[in-house]
Chains A and B, each alone.
Chain A
Amino acid sequence: MTPVSEPTRPSVLHIFKVYYPDLFGGTLTVIRDICTSLKDAFTSAVLVCSKSADERRNIVVNDIAVERVQSFGDVLSLPAAPTYPWRLWRKIAQHDLLALHAPFPLADLVFAFGLARKRPLVVHWHADIVTHAGLRWFVEPLMRRTLRQAAAIIVSDHVLVDRTPLLREFADKCHAVPFGIDTTKYDWPRIDPQHVNDRGRLVLACGRLVPYKGFEVLIRAAQGRNFEVWIIGEGAERARLEQLIEELGVGDRVRLLGSVPDCERVKLMCIADVFAMPSVTNAETFGLVQLEAMAAGRPVVNTALDTAVPHVARDGIEAITVPPGDSAALGDAIDTLIRDPERRRRMGLAARTRAATRYSAAAFKNGMETVYAQVLAASTSRSATSSATPGWLDVIRIAGALAWSDMRHRYVRSLLGPFWMSLQMAIVVAVLGSVIGQMSNAGVLARLPMLALSMTAWTFLNSVVLDATTALQGSASLIRDRALPPVIFLLQCTFRQALFALHNACVPLVLWLLLTPRDLSHALAALPGLLLFIACTFALSLVLGAMATRYRDLKPIIESSLMLGFLSSPVIWSTEMINHRSTIMRLNPLTHLFAVWREPLVGGHVDTLSIVYVLACLAGLTFASWLTLVHLRKAAFWI
């Protein structure tokens, strides 16, 4: 392999269920053709599943890197490869463009959950789901989500868009790029394409031995006639077809050739007299093999499916089209062609001309390249647009940097830095503790760590909210002159106060280590509640911060409400100190906001009511935060 000369070549990841050398077939040919014909403009890679016990998971097929994910067999025509979605998700970031070859519900899972939003997606629509139609209710919503995310959908013929309800919904994204074929490959030197065997009676068919290919119909059609049928291909149906051949007694004229190397297949195509494609369901969307037969200058007998099949080789011009599943009509059509060498010659010539002009490899290459390039161009311009305003990660990063610098600033100004605050906290706890000790005769010392921790948490909540009410005005110049999103400065309050709270937390930590039996499991149990507490605090600061910026008279109201809320909540009191909880205390959200983490910390059980109350508060606050975020851009007018 030659090293990649231009590193700028965008890379395309082809996503399908199976690839060479595990299987051969039309879809695989298409993928291979895309990879090889676009190799000047794109680097390609393929991610598929493989049942083979072959240890080599990363192989190179025709210069294309192929990764094969272990599969444990097929379930409902799908490879059972539990790690495939994971591998796909991991690989997405390494490529510039994703090409999903549908239908492949396993990959739809990844796309449906939005795990691939960062990369543009092109869906190659090869076929609808036909075989396990009972699973449609489950798979269709997934496929719809995938198609919604796709930047473009490529179909082989426009008729598929008209006939497939799911594609009709996305008709504006669909691009019809007919498959192409290199007809020179079929210039078999010893036989002129115009050659017609006058006494010929060889009917060729080709495809995997699976039910939708309709080989059963072809075998039945051979009964009582005198043409020969050769079928190229391998598959699960083989045993059944062999049995059928035996039952019908046509074993002398019908042969299953099995897999045949490419060059042999070209030779067989060229010496055949009639090519039959008896497919019976719409799973056959295009019929690449009939195009190959056309390239070899053979007349075709195909079936009147709702897909591109009868449009590729048209009835009366390049083919005779018969109703699908009708063995008598199929037999008649073949017989008609066998008996009429002149017609065969005429149709064969027309077929070759159509293959060379309408379905040329160059047109296919151009079509694919155009769609890929358009999608890439659109996505790069979109990503550039999004970089104009800082993303969420940038917002958090800037807020973090600002908060960190605020804290460092405290260290700069004094020797003890923020530990002054810890000292202050220690004094508050000592005074409060002694006062409470006077009021109740229970062990004061044992209650001190909880008192200290509650005060730390309360200080955090109180200062975050109060900080937020003035944060936007304080950062007016950054918002207006550097165009930073206002939400940064509200986030900065939470970050800054969290850093200060960590300093304050020294006091309860020391007390806890000194005064109580250390039980880490209680601390772990309190963690979810603590996270709820922090989430509520942040959401509250977001909402109140924005509102207090718009309405300046809110700040004193917020201040006094917080103080009232504090006094009417059991923050400094413990539950046993108040025997009958007052109604106000029970209605006070602070009571429950503290209960969800305080109770587990002392090994108690959280009241379900508290959890419900806090979750309801959080839901309400989340909704309010969302509204705030929507309107926060206007904050530039308010400051």
Chain B
Amino acid sequence: MASISLRNASLDYPLYGAYDHSLKRRLLGHLIREQSGMRIIRAVDNITIEAEAGARIGLAGPNGSGKSTLLRLIAGVYPPSCGSVAIKGNIVPLLGLNAGVNLDFVAEDNIALLLRISGRKPTRAIIDEIWAFTELEERMQRLPLRMFSSGMLMRVLFATATAFPADILLLDEWLSVVDENFSAKAQARLIKLVSQAAIVIIASHDQPLLRRTCSTIINLDHGRVASTVAVEPPATHPFELREKRA
């Protein structure tokens, strides 16, 4: 079963300045014994999270408190500097919707490529299903994404990214991108996706949203856990949905 286990995980994030990307500078620096000016910030500091199937964790905190970095650490983008990160189950990180998008390609090809990147085989039926969700015209499938308005583009990307259920779902600032008309439908779909995933971790500024969706809220500050709040299970739709599924 899916589980996430972070034990005293820390991440030192090296901040490369303009000169830190220079090999010449670095070699010269060694010769003239210049102190290395590279700055390291501790983006994630000694965090321990144990999550089993069913966990709904919300990450809250001001900008730069390490929410996204923590999500990336869990997703395996960054190796932990110390401590251990053990993940069981397949992770679907939805951290940025427009990763891997090529605006010159037609919509259809973009969808197929994005599906391939997430390890799925794109079939006609799947692409049509995704397209149906976007509520865009059929012929637009063959237009390059460059010609789409930003709202349309987001519909396509959102529909593609959320087409398949995941064991572990990592969401960064969900829904802030989708336009008003589409929002209700997208919301419903995300909630469905969340209800199907074994573990969900959401980073957001939106406290009411976190309280609606999560069972635990972790407040981060400067990479450290400032407080952990257990949320009373609300009787709103995520719960009803889960019961219906059962």
Contact of A480 (CB < 8 Å), options: B23, B86, B90, B95: B95
Q: List 8 A-B contacts (CB under 8 A).
A: A387-B89, A388-B89, A388-B90, A398-B117, A482-B93, A552-B22, A637-B14, A638-B16
Other A-B pairs beyond A387-B90, A405-B109, A478-B100, 8, CB < 8 Å = A381-B88, A384-B89, A401-B113, A478-B117, A481-B95, A482-B100, A552-B21, A634-B79
Contact with B along A615-639 (1 / 0, CB 8 A): 0000000000000000001101110
Interface residues in chain B, defined as those with a beta carbon under 8 Å from any beta carbon in chain A:
2, 13-14, 16, 21-26, 72, 75-79, 86-91, 93, 95-96, 98-100, 102, 104-106, 109, 113, 116-119
A57 interface residue per 8 A CB criterion? no
A435 to B46, CA, bound (A): 67
A195 at the interface (CB under 8 A from B): no
Which 5 A-B pairs have CB atoms at the shortest separation, nearest pair first? A551-B23, A481-B96, A483-B75, A481-B99, A477-B99
Any B CB within 8 A of the CB of A446: no
Is the beta-carbon distance between B22 and A553 smaller than 8 angstroms?
yes
Q: Is the CB of A384 within 8 A of B99?
A: no
A389 at the interface (CB under 8 A from B): yes
Whether A390 contacts B119 by the Cβ 8 Å rule is yes
Interface size in chain A (residues, C-beta < 8 A)? 36
With A401-B117, A483-B77 known as contacts, the answer to whether A388 contacts B102 (CB < 8 A) is: no
A115 to chain B, nearest CB (A): 26
Residue pair B117, A637 in contact (C-beta under 8 Å): no
CB nearest to A638 among chain B residues: B16
Give every chain A residue within 8 A of B99 (Cβ-Cβ).
477-478, 480-482
Which one of A552, A634, A637 has the greatest number of beta carbons of chain B within 10 Å?
A637
Docked-complex contact B104 and A405, CB < 8 angstroms: no
Asked whether B117 lies within 8 Å of A481 as measured between CB atoms, the reply is no
User: Do the beta carbons of A401 and B116 come within 8 Å of each other?
Assistant: yes
Contact of A481 among B89, B93, B109, B116 (CB under 8 A): B93
User: With A381-B88, A385-B88, A637-B13 given, is the CB distance from A480 to B77 under 8 Å?
Assistant: yes
Which partner residue on chain A sits nearest B21 by CB separation? A552
Interface bits A473-505 vs B (CB < 8 Å: 1, else 0): 001011111111000000000000000000000
Which positions in A face B, CB cutoff 8 Å? Answer: 381, 384-385, 387-390, 394, 397-398, 401-402, 405, 408-409, 412-413, 475, 477-484, 550-554, 633-634, 636-638
B79 → chain A closest CB, angstroms: 5
Known: A413-B104, A480-B72, A633-B79. A394 touches B119 (CB 8 A): yes
Interfacial chain B residues near A480, Cβ < 8 Å: 72, 77, 95-96, 99
A557 closest partner in B (C-beta): B23
Closest chain B CB from A358 CB (angstroms): 37
CB distance from A488 to the nearest CB of B (A): 9
Distance of B157 from chain A, by nearest CB (Å): 11
Contact B96 A477 (CB under 8 A): yes
Known contacts A408-B109, A409-B104; A482/B95 CB under 8 A:
yes
Query: Of all chain B residues, which has the CB nearest A400?
Result: B116
A550–B98 alpha-carbon span in the complex (Å): 24
The answer to whether A405 touches B113 (Cβ under 8 A) is yes
Residues of B within 8 A of A481 (CB): 93, 95-96, 99
Alpha-carbon gap, A313 to B179, bound state (A): 81
Contacts of A482 in B (CB 8 A): 93, 95, 99-100, 117-118
In the complex, A408 Cα to B116 Cα: how many Å? 15
Give CA–CA (A500, B26) in the complex, Å.
37
Contact of B98 among A387, A477, A554 (CB under 8 A): A477
Q: Could you tell me the distance between the alpha carbons of A408 and B144 in the complex, rounded to whole angstroms?
A: 14
Known: A402-B113, A554-B23, A637-B78. A385 touches B95 (CB 8 A): no
